[in-house]
Amino acid sequence: MKYVITTGGVMSGLGKGITTSSIGRILKNKGYRVTAIKIDPYINIDAGTMNPFQHGEVFVLKDGGEVDLDLGNYERFLDTELTRDHNLTTGKIYKEVIEKERRGDYLGNTVQIIPHVTNEIKERIRSVALASGAEICLIEIGGTVGDIESMPFLEAARQMQREEAMQDLVLVHVTLVPVDCQGEQKTKPTQHSVKELRELGLYPNIIVARCTSALSLAVKEKIALFCDVPASAIVSAYDADDIYHVPLIFEKEGISDYLTKRFKLEKNDNKSRWRKLVERMDEIKEGGETISIAVVGKYTDLRDAYTSIRESLKHAGIACGCNVDIEWIDSENLNGTPEHVKKSLGEFDGILVPGGFGERGIEGKIDAIEYARTEDVPFLGLCLGMQLAVIEFARNVIGWQDANSSEFGETPHPVIGLLPEQYEVTDMGGSMRLGDYEAVLTEGSLAHRLYGSLKMVERHRHRYEVNPEYLDEFGSRGVVFSGKNMNRMEIVEIPSHRFFIGCQFHPEFKSRPENAAPLFRGFVEAALGRLSETA
């Protein structure tokens, strides 16, 4: 097994996840089986309870693992599916160590950070890498060098660097080269970051320098001199038009040649598919039609909260040959008169309402859904977005003005509620429907035409469901629940509408640059006015 360990310095948010994903894509282009592990030093067991404002999107894996959004980038770049074991946290590691101590596994020894915690970290990394069947394992250590919570993981990395053969492990350090007011690229932040890394016993093999423009040769040589890394192993990670350009930038910077030599890999290369993808994106950007999509949510001030939705719309745009211009609409500012809603949404080619938890902002989302339905604007509702579409129809078409979800309090018409079946029980005691579930689609429905099959599997993250007691009433008014998992409603659509579809699952989690999610692709096609050509 070969390992690529990525660390970061100077500041957070430099792009360790995109760096790791891009390196993985380069290695996959060479024909190697690649997997990835994200280490998050926070004490939470997983990302499931974390506020999107603090940590961005909670990405859900096929086995129901609620993880950091970087694993979404790994899956998209590598076109793979990971599991919850590919996300390590301080909480997971310490929980396992404490449980082993309580069972007596340590035979009375004093349990310490070294060797017990670091051994657990290394054991987890190696077992996940082995179980994946990969040849190369990418490991991203979250946070920055010097963070107190990262220390056990960095120490484990130091031990691995010592234990693995030189040709089997590469340490990549991502740092910052800012530009001063004179326009000069400054290397001191990188020098100090590498110095701090070396004080921990870790010696970088590759330095990825985040910068606004490519590093000059003189700057590379200066970093090489002070950081004891060959100039050929210093990579300019300059600002790109799109994250999918980064693997090609890294190729141009020579990282592929370094890895091939270091790992003693064959130089077989098949990056043509990825290059063609990027070339198609560039062609579309230059000459493609542009549509505008309103995403009506409550985390719009932090775009990372909707990373997978943004990327899925991009993937659909690539598949449909168009640019997708996204406008982020705060649902709390939308709730108002019909005139206000029309003024806010009247210029968009499509309206998307994403998932979420809690009552805040739902009335604005319901107003957006009503506008999409009555004005025949293409609409896509995800998870809570589907539930609110059901509530909107119950209120404004059936006439139950007090219809609501039991999540938001008592109501005489709980069209959304808890079903008696129990799903996965979380550590907080509540039951959640997480990960992959199969749905059976209605033959001839829009969902059937988009998926091209009568069965499909998508990922879920929710607790409440459409109440099956109300299905007859909805059916008599033209609503079709076209996807079902036993008595659980997976998809709702209004056939008389140009494109009105809601899904209880999250199709954005399985969308890929080269394989857009069917519902997103259909949504974008409808916004273009070309749906009949493809579905």
Model confidence pLDDT, tens digit, residues 147-173: 999 999 999 999 999 999 989 999 999
Widest CA span in the chain: 76
What confidence score (pLDDT) does residue 250 get?
Answer: 96
How would residue 358 be classed by pLDDT, with cut points 50, 70 and 90? confident
Say yes or no: 247 and 341 in one domain.
Answer: no
Q: What is the pLDDT of residues 300-326, one digit of tens each?
A: 888 788 999 999 999 999 999 999 999
Strand partners, 109: none
Average pLDDT estimate for 272-277: 90
Higher pLDDT, residue 117 or 299: 117
Residue 375 has pLDDT above 90, yes or no: yes
* Active-site residue, selected from the candidate residues 227, 320, 383, 503: 383
Does the active-site annotation cover 383?
A: yes
Of 222, 245, 276, the domain-final residue: 276
Strand partners, 35: 137
Say yes or no: 261 and 355 in one domain.
Answer: no
Residue 335 has pLDDT above 80, yes or no: no
Give residue for tokens 């020894």: 109
What confidence score (pLDDT) does residue 254 get?
Answer: 92
Higher pLDDT, residue 525 or 532: 525
Average pLDDT estimate for 54-67: 92
Q: What is the pLDDT of residues 21-30, one digit of tens each?
A: 999 999 999 9
Q: Report whether 265 contacts 32 (CB < 8 A).
A: yes
* Arithmetic mean of pLDDT over the chain: 93
Average pLDDT estimate for 525-531: 92
* Active-site residue, selected from the candidate residues 116, 413, 462, 506: 506
Q: Has residue 283 been placed in a domain?
A: no
Q: What is the pLDDT of residues 418-473, one digit of tens each?
A: 876 655 545 444 578 899 999 999 999 999 999 999 999 999 999 999 999 999 99
Distance CA 270, CA 251 (A): 12
CB atoms within 10 A of CB 438: 11
Average pLDDT estimate for 482-489: 94
Q: How many domains does the chain have?
A: 2
Say yes or no: 147 and 194 in one domain.
Answer: yes
Say yes or no: 356 and 456 in one domain.
Answer: yes
Say yes or no: 353 and 471 in one domain.
Answer: yes
Distance CA 152, CA 93 (A): 10
Q: Has residue 517 been placed in a domain?
A: yes
Say yes or no: 316 and 463 in one domain.
Answer: yes
Distance CA 385, CA 390 (A): 9
Distance CA 465, CA 491 (A): 11
Say yes or no: 265 and 310 in one domain.
Answer: no
Say yes or no: 120 and 78 in one domain.
Answer: yes
Please report, for the domain that includes residue 516, its CATH number: 3.40.50.880
What confidence score (pLDDT) does residue 357 get?
Answer: 86
Distance CA 455, CA 438 (A): 7
For residue 175, the one-letter residue type is T
What confidence score (pLDDT) does residue 429 get?
Answer: 43
Going from the C-alpha of 323 to that of each of 293, 297, 326, 440, 521, the distances in angstroms are 10, 21, 10, 32, 13
What confidence score (pLDDT) does residue 534 get?
Answer: 57
Give residue for tokens 């970088």: 204
Say yes or no: 272 and 323 in one domain.
Answer: no
What is the SS3 assignment for 408-438?
Answer: HCCCCCEEEECCCCCCEECCCCCEEEEEEEE
For residue 275, the one-letter residue type is R
Distance CA 365, CA 82 (A): 32
Q: Has residue 8 been placed in a domain?
A: yes
Strand partners, 172: 6, 206
Residue 489 has pLDDT above 90, yes or no: yes
Does the active-site annotation cover 322?
A: no
What confidence score (pLDDT) does residue 266 get?
Answer: 80
What confidence score (pLDDT) does residue 86 get?
Answer: 98
Give residue for tokens 């609620």: 66
Say yes or no: 265 and 306 in one domain.
Answer: no
Say yes or no: 149 and 298 in one domain.
Answer: no
How would residue 271 be classed by pLDDT, with cut points 50, 70 and 90? low
What confidence score (pLDDT) does residue 421 get?
Answer: 61
Q: What is the pLDDT of residues 188-208, one digit of tens each?
A: 999 999 999 999 999 999 999
Angle (CA) 353 520 313, round 5°? 80
Q: What is the pLDDT of residues 207-216, one digit of tens each?
A: 999 999 999 9
Q: Has residue 63 been placed in a domain?
A: yes
Least confident span in 10-19, 209-218, 328-337:
328-337
| pTM more than 0.85 | yes
Q: Which domain holds residue 406?
A: 288-534
Say yes or no: 518 and 413 in one domain.
Answer: yes
Average pLDDT estimate for 501-526: 97
What confidence score (pLDDT) does residue 428 get?
Answer: 44
Note if the bond before 178 is cis, omega within 30 degrees.
Answer: no
